[in-house]
Amino acid sequence: MTPQAADSLAFLAGGGEMGALMRAHDWSQAVIGAPADWPQPLRTSVRLLLNTGHPMYIWWGEDGICFYNDAYRRSIGPERHPGSLGLPAREVWEEIWHIIGPEVDQAMSGKGSTWSENKLVPITRNGRREDVFWTYSYSPIGDDNATHGVGGVLVICAETTEQVLSEQRLAAQAQRQQQQFEQAPGFICILTGPEHVYDFVNQSYRRLVGDRKFVGRPVRVVMPELAGQGFFELLDQVYASGERHVAHHLPIRLQSARAQVEVQRYVDFIYEAILDEKGCVTGIFVQGHDVTEMHLAREAHRRQARHLQLLVDELNHRVKNTLAIVQGLAQQTFRGGAANDDARDAFNGRLAALAAAHDVLTREHWEAADVGEIIRQSLHAHGARRHRFVIEGPPARVQPQTAVTLAMVMHELCTNAAKHGALSNESGRVHVQWRLEERPVHRMHLLWQEIDGPAVAAPGHRGFGSRMISRALSGEPGGDVQLHFHQQGVVCEMAVALPARDAPRQECRP
């Protein structure tokens, strides 16, 4: 080869494998002829192609004779390398000509270049059809001697398959994550920027606060009812500091859009700052649970526990009071060492009256007792016959202390009547009646009147029963007892103030 000829082929120097293949290729049978005869625009473009690390391709002339470099051959597989060098474009790329043909025609017809980004152009390589993504441009190579002034097309491209698939995987992962967020049992929302603009809310969040217009709107606009509840301030604090905030069983008042009423719920939640690659806060991730039912159940349990403790304390107190009453009864009954049958019967009768009062109060949960029930149970415990009594009066309820005292008084009156009064013969009767007085205070007046019994007189000695009757209600508010020994029968007048419904319970004392 002459030095002149060598200089004419200098544009093919270098280029690695493809440079060597071009130099060794038999171009004599090609339409474009030997390299020494190639037009200058082609020679310049080929030299550029062989000396760049970017994947590049050239289609030259009307047949689109193929040239490519080492960087490009890595993307086309053995099906087209090295056999496609110097062949017409349509023959080499028949399988995708319906995609790229119009773009090639645009450049060759002088209508300008094209640009495609991450475009799917499937090709057969390595023995199988593959989905391949490319970012590329088709640029016309000027040639004054060619039709439309364009001699060929320069293709600068990059395969972006891995990038696109990676982005698709990330997008699919993000979609799955969003679906998981959407279906999560706890409420989730994502707020962006210092104004806390909604970027995402899930179903649980909508169920909690109502289905409103969220995305693209600030939280202060979407949920104005939160003003004054501290939530806006917490969001501002987390956004400013980047520090997480955790809350448990925090009350939140929400406006019901449908009913236009305010409802209160209780929530557990976390405000977690969202950081960018520089560590700057860009938003807040909100995640939590509606724990209203749990909170109410817990509060109910606490109330029940407190109530149970009060009941236990009250029971302990009442047991002590009952023991004190029993002790007082025993001391009075067996005073002076008396332990005869009469004393034992009296003691047992008083215990029975006390037990009867306790039975009534237990059925009423020790809140109050019906006056008529207390009287009837006391007389029944004494063994008195009902046909000897007339018991009448309006519905009236007394508190535990008064109920116990009334039961003991009924027992003592009944005992005295059985020994000395109307119940000591076969014809005597007892009339028990009561009435209510509303003014000046709410009081009950109760009358025990013995009829058709033997003549009675005031005893010369007052025993325990008489003393207890006379003193029974004197210690209670508005309490009074008057015991009269008329010749025709004993009369006992009692009065006691009836407390209001919400008055505190009285303690039972001997």
Q: What per-residue confidence (pLDDT) applies to 506?
A: 41
- State the virtual CA torsion across 360, 366, 372, 376 in degrees, nearest 10: 20
475, pLDDT greater than 50: yes
Secondary structure letter of residue 500 according to DSSP: P
Q: Any idea where the domains of the chain sit in the sequence?
A: 3-165, 184-290, 299-497
Give residue 43's identity as a one-letter amino acid code: R
pLDDT tens-digit map of 209-222: 988 999 999 999 99
Q: What per-residue confidence (pLDDT) applies to 101?
A: 95
The model's confidence at residue 316, banded by pLDDT at 50, 70 and 90, is low
179, pLDDT greater than 60: yes
Q: Do domains 3-165 and 184-290 have the same CATH topology?
A: yes
The model's confidence at residue 299, banded by pLDDT at 50, 70 and 90, is confident
Assigned CATH topology for domain 299-497? Heat Shock Protein 90 (3.30.565)
Radius of gyration of the chain (CA): 54
370, pLDDT greater than 70: yes
Helix (H, G, I), strand (E, B) or coil at 207: helix
User: pTM surpassing 0.85?
Assistant: no
Q: What per-residue confidence (pLDDT) applies to 502?
A: 40
153, pLDDT greater than 90: yes
CATH pick for 184-290 out of 3.20.190.10, 3.40.462.40, 3.30.450.20, 2.20.28.160: 3.30.450.20
DSSP string over 283-331: EEEEEEEE-HHHHHHHHHHHHHHHHHHHHHHHHHHHHHHHHHHHHHHHH
Q: Which residues pair with 153 in a beta bridge?
A: 59, 140
pLDDT tens-digit map of 45-101: 999 999 999 999 999 999 999 999 999 998 998 999 999 999 999 999 999 999 999
Rounded CA-CA distance 83/93 in Å is 12
The model's confidence at residue 237, banded by pLDDT at 50, 70 and 90, is very high
CATH match of 3-165 with 3.30.420.40: no
Rounded CA-CA distance 227/263 in Å is 15
In contact, 347 and 333? CB cutoff 8 Å: yes
Rounded CA-CA distance 23/43 in Å is 13
